[in-house]
């Protein structure tokens, strides 16, 4: 036979379970997953000559083709103007890359994060691994992820491709509807 305290504890446990189930169902119900709108943006990058390289220890020889050898922690930054189809300047691309695996420019690894400031807000993009250094070759394609955005692009997700020489960016977005 159960005593009054055991019955109270079971009743309290049952109540907690009912409340948990109700909260779970209410979180899933109603709107369900938000509806997403697909949007594609395209830009051509125009070089600004805003480029810098920070050479972490051990130091390397730098010539016209760039650093001879990259080490862990070396950093590269650059900025480009973003042009629309009519070649009008509509935004900025600001990127920083930190090299994580040493090597030559064509076989090292880096993590790059960029912000595209465009009409209506901004988008944050990321790419990593050797994709960055392979993308530096003429005609190569760099692929990465869209991590989020601001303004008209709040809640954005998606991916991008950048084809080099000249750099043309195609951004595939999924945006929550308002």
**Residue 70 near residue 108 (C-beta atoms within 8 A):** yes
Q: What is the mean pLDDT of the chain?
A: 80
- The percentage of residues in the chain with a pLDDT greater than 70, rounded to a whole number, is 75
Residues 98-125 as b or e (16 or more Cβ within 10 Å = b): bbeebeebeebbbebbbbbebeeebbbb
For 17-33, what is the mean pLDDT?
43
Q: Residues near 170 by Cβ (< 8 Å), separated by ≥ 6?
A: 40, 41, 42, 160, 161, 162
Q: pLDDT tens-digit profile of 107-158?
A: 888 999 999 999 999 999 999 887 555 555 666 788 999 999 999 999 999 9
pTM of the model: 0.73
Going from N- to C-terminal start, the domains of the chain cover 1-32, 36-176
Residue 21 pLDDT more than 60? Answer: no
Task: Say which residue, 94 or 24, is predicted with more confidence.
Answer: 94
Phi, psi of 62 (to 5 degrees): -120, 125
Residues 13-51 as b or e (16 or more Cβ within 10 Å = b): eeeeeeeeeeeeeeeeeeeeeeeeeeeebebbbeeeeee
DSSP letter string, 151-163: ETTTT-EEEEEEE
pLDDT band for position 166 (cuts 50, 70, 90) = confident
Q: pLDDT tens-digit profile of 53-81?
A: 888 788 888 877 777 788 889 998 999 99
Which CATH number fits the domain 36-176, given the four candidates 3.60.21.10, 2.40.480.10, 1.10.10.10, 3.30.1390.20?
2.40.480.10
Of 97, 13, 88, 90, the C-alpha closest to 53 is 97
């Amino acid at each position: 036979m159960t005593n009054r305290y055991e019955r109270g504890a079971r009743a309290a446990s049952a109540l907690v379970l009912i409340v948990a189930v109700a909260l779970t169902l209410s979180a899933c119900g109603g709107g369900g997953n938000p509806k997403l709108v697909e949007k594609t943006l395209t830009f051509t990058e125009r070089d600004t000559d805003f480029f810098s390289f920070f050479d972490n220890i051990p130091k390397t020889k730098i010539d016209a083709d760039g650093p001879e050898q990259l080490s862990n922690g070396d950093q590269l930054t650059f900025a480009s103007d973003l042009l629309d189809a009519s070649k009008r300047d509509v935004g900025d691309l600001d990127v920083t890359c930190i090299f994580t695996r040493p090597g030559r420019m064509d076989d090292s690894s880096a993590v790059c994060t960029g912000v595209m400031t465009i009409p209506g807000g901004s988008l944050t993009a990321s790419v990593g691994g050797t994709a960055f250094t392979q993308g530096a070759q003429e005609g190569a394609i760099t692929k990465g992820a869209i991590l989020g955005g601001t303004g008209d692009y709040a809640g954005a997700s998606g991916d991008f491709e950048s084809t080099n020489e000249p750099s043309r960016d195609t951004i595939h977005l999924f945006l929550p509807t308002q």
